[in-house]
Amino acid sequence: MYEDEKLVCEDCGKEFVFTAGEQEFYAEKGLVNKPKRCPECRRARRKNNRKKRRKYDAVCSKCGAQTQVPFKPIPGKEVYCKDCFQKSTTEEA
């Protein structure tokens, strides 16, 4: 049904293979456009986009430490630093 197809990355110009398995996955998810970037450029783009996310200053509700969170804190709602959040999720498990 699907066959491996060679495509050219629009960022680096390198040729890459859009495998039959990837094509099947795209079809299952309803994706109609072929990838424009090679896997390396896709990873780099995702990594770069993560760096651009805004961080908000906050004070940890548990230990009082200054921290940054990826969402705007709402007054009256608890906010945890990374360490306290990880401790709370491992205690619940």
DSSP H stretches of helix in the chain: 20-28, 39-51, 82-92
Domain range summary for the chain, segments of one domain joined by +: 5-51, 56-92
- Write down the number of H helices and E strands in the chain: 3, 4
Q: What angle do CA 24, 30, 32 make, to 5 degrees?
A: 85
Is the confidence at residue 12, as pLDDT, over 80? yes
Contact between residue 57 and residue 79 where contact means Cβ atoms under 8 Å apart: no
Q: Residue 20's pLDDT band (boundaries 50, 70, 90)?
A: very high
Q: Residue 84's pLDDT band (boundaries 50, 70, 90)?
A: very high
pLDDT of residue 47: 87
48-67 residue pLDDT tens: 877 777 889 999 999 999 99
- Decide: helix, strand or coil at residue 80: coil
Which residues contact residue 57 at a Cβ distance below 8 angstroms, ignoring those fewer than 6 apart? 66, 67, 68
pLDDT of residue 60: 95
